[in-house]
Amino acid sequence: MTNPHSVEHLLQSANHLSEADWQLATRYAPIIKFDAREPFLPAAVGYTIFRADAPSPSFPRQIELGNAALAIEYAVWWDWDIQHLYELEHVWVYLDEAGQVIRAEASWHGGYSEMTVDDTLPLTGDKLTIFSESGKHAFAPSQGRLNARADKTKKACTRYAGTGGVWVTPLFKGIIDAKTPLADRLVHTYLERQAFEPAMEFSQIFQVPPKILVPWPTLFAWIPGRVAWWVSELERTILPEERRFLRIAHRGASAYAPENTLTAIAKAAELGADAVELDVHVSADGAPVIIHDAYLERSTNGAGVVSKHTLAQLKELDAGEGETIPTLEEAIACCRTRRLGIYLELKSDLAAFAAADLIRKHKLYYQVIVTSFRPDWLINLKAIEPRTITSVLFSSVDIDPVALARLVGAQYVHPAWEDWAAEPHKLLTPDWMNKVRAAGLGIITWHEERPSEIAALRKLGVDGICSNAPDLLI
């Protein structure tokens, strides 16, 4: 029996309601040039014919014919982008009454643009001939646009392969429900294995074959099950000890640089961290600042309570080796420059409001996880910005992690058990792990510098480990 989530089943079950429309889609299906080392080619293409202006069913835009008699929309489906599970890019071909291609557009990183080279359509007979970005698959009319992004593309295909996890665009919000912390780790693991150095030679020529053309509604209905199937396959085939966990530098690379400073952040990136754990307080004049303690004495040459000092006063202090206390805004800029995620611990009630404002301002919904020992602060944050990903910290071994996470709407639980036992990983019993996983929650653990404990945590298949020395997590 054919797997209902297989590409073969999709193609065999496609019902072309109009033979004439399928013939049109076949005749004008684009030719796509791929990188010589591209590992992922399209698996299916959904088509829609427009004979009047109307909104696209699969892309956030209005199709306007202008002087065209009709338009054909091609929604090109890949199981994989080099950074995330599934990809959907688009091509639009406009025809006049005589059946000549008079205009063409294609998608490009969330937008779309005209497919012309020196005001000329790149056609091979009736077929638009375009280039697909290595690994990322955005479309361009010539290689020049791709060459201009070569450095970004290379990093996406190597260092950042898999970091997007399961992709959920607005089109599939509430429809694709396979995105969980575990699913993201599985995808990261799989795609990191597929990482490649782009050749930037576009010698793989892909002519869309008629058999993979299906009406868009058929493709749309199939996609959620396909995504869920892939996640289940990865969970079945990738053992817990093989899974790529998040390497989180605790207070930056604090074993090598003053904690919670810009230098510690930069050092964490240098040592291969995926994210930095940072602590945020709020100054007397309302500025969110990065410092762990409520008091200044331990980590600076100052004295007194952080929240009783203005930002200007805090900036005058030495946070170690001549470093200053960063603002959260400065820390965000430092992390974005280095493509680091942020694991942000709230250290005051006001920090929740400040963090929500900056997450919204910089659209950091997928780059920041906010955590706290105070459930009420996480609830406040979620009330302000519900899209924020959160993790709930707790130190007691007797807390029900699932009940606590559900109370605050968190996606992750974070047991802080480093001081509870000589081998704290043993507190993460199979029953505890299974209960948390069954609830769809992720697991981030305490900061750990003992290689034996790091190895044990990795074997358990946790989603993230913090460390003062992030190089130990490689």
Handedness of CA 439, 390, 412, 404 (dihedral sign): negative
C-alpha torsion angle, residues 335, 336, 337, 340 (rounded to 10): 50
The DSSP bridge pattern shows strands 368-372 and 54-55 to be: unpaired
| CATH fourth-level superfamily of 245-473 | Phosphatidylinositol (PI) phosphodiesterase (3.20.20.190)
Of 1, 107, 94, 87, whose CA–CA distance to 44 is shortest?
Answer: 87
| Residue whose structure tokens are 């930056």 | 252
Let me know: does 305 contact 289? Beta carbons within 8 Å.
Answer: no
The DSSP bridge pattern shows strands 246-250 and 464-467 to be: parallel
End-to-end, the C-alpha distance of the chain in Å comes to 43
Q: Which two tokens stand for residue 94?
A: 């406009």
d(CA 137, CA 38): 10
User: What are the start-end ranges of the H helices in 194-323?
Assistant: 216-237, 262-270, 311-315
User: Tell me, what DSSP letter sits at residue 426?
Assistant: G
Q: What is the mean pLDDT of the chain?
A: 96
Handedness of CA 296, 302, 305, 310 (dihedral sign): negative
Q: Average pLDDT of 43-65? A: 98
Whether the predicted pLDDT of 122 surpasses 80: yes
Handedness of CA 115, 122, 103, 79 (dihedral sign): negative
- The number of beta carbons lying within 10 Å of the beta carbon of residue 27 is 15
List, for residues 403-427, the tens digit of each pLDDT value.
999 999 999 999 999 989 999 999 9
Give residue 54's region: left, alpha or beta (phi > 0; psi -120 to 50).
Answer: beta
Which H or E run contains 45? strand 44-50
- The whole-number pLDDT of residue 125 equals 95
Q: What is the DSSP string of 58-69?
A: SSSSEE--TT-S
Whether the predicted pLDDT of 1 surpasses 60: no
List, for residues 78-93, the tens digit of each pLDDT value.
999 999 999 999 999 9
| Residue whose structure tokens are 């697991």 | 443
d(CA 301, CA 354): 26
Give Cα 116 distance to the centre of its chain. Answer: 31
Question: Residue 375: helix, strand or coil by DSSP?
Answer: helix
Rounded CA Rg of the chain? 25
Residue 23, φ and ψ in degrees, nearest 5: -65, -40
Residue 361, φ and ψ in degrees, nearest 5: -60, -45
Q: Residue 48 forms beta bridges with which residues?
A: 73
- The number of beta carbons lying within 10 Å of the beta carbon of residue 300 is 21
- The number of beta carbons lying within 10 Å of the beta carbon of residue 56 is 19
Percent of the chain predicted with pLDDT > 90: 97
List, for residues 351-407, the tens digit of each pLDDT value.
999 999 999 999 999 899 999 999 999 999 999 999 999 999 999 999 999 999 999
The DSSP bridge pattern shows strands 368-372 and 412-415 to be: unpaired
**List of residues 6+ apart from 229 with CB closer than 8 A:** 3, 5
Whether the predicted pLDDT of 242 surpasses 80: yes
d(CA 337, CA 132): 26
Q: Residue 87 forms beta bridges with which residues?
A: 78
Whether the predicted pLDDT of 332 surpasses 90: yes
The residue ranges of every structural domain in the chain are 7-239, 245-473
Whether the predicted pLDDT of 55 surpasses 60: yes
Residue 260, φ and ψ in degrees, nearest 5: 60, 35
Q: Average pLDDT of 425-453? A: 97
Whether the predicted pLDDT of 17 surpasses 80: no
Q: What is the DSSP string of 76-117?
A: EEEEEETTEEEEEEEEEEEE-TTS-EEEEEEEETTEEEE--B
Whether the predicted pLDDT of 160 surpasses 60: yes
Whether the predicted pLDDT of 184 surpasses 70: yes
List, for residues 336-349, the tens digit of each pLDDT value.
999 999 999 999 99
- The whole-number pLDDT of residue 13 equals 84
